[in-house]
Amino acid sequence: MFAKNAWYVAATPDEVDAKPLGRTICGEKIVFYRGPEGRVAALEDWCPHRGAPLSLGRVVEGRLVCGYHGLEMGCDGKTVAMPGQRVRGFPPVRSFPVIEKSGFIWVWTGDAAQASEDQLPELHWADNKEWAFGGGLYHIACDYRLMIDNLMDLTHETYVHTTSIGQPEIDETPCKTTIDGDHAVTSRFMNGIQAPPFWRMALRANGLPDDQPVDRWQICRFSPPSQVHIEVGVALAGRGGYDAPKQDKAYSIVVDFLTPETETTMWYFWGMARNFRPDDKALTAQIREGQGKIFAEDLQMLECQQANLSKWAGRDVLKLNIDAGGVQARKVIERLVAAERSTLSV
Question: Each residue of 157-195: b (16+ CB within 10 Å) or e?
Answer: bbebbeebbbbebbeeeebebeeeebebbbbbebeebbb
Beta bridge partners of 59: 64
pLDDT value for 271: 94
Residues contacting 207, CB < 8 A, separation 6+: none
Question: Cβ(170)–Cβ(259) under 8 Å?
Answer: no
pLDDT value for 159: 46
Full-model pTM:
0.91
Low-confidence ranges of the chain (pLDDT < 70): 154-171, 320-322, 344-346
Beta bridge partners of 257: 227, 269
Which pLDDT tens digit goes with each residue over 54-80?
999 999 988 999 998 999 999 999 998
Residue 341 CB burial class (10 angstroms; 0-12, 13-18, ≥19): exposed
- Kindly report the length of the chain: 346
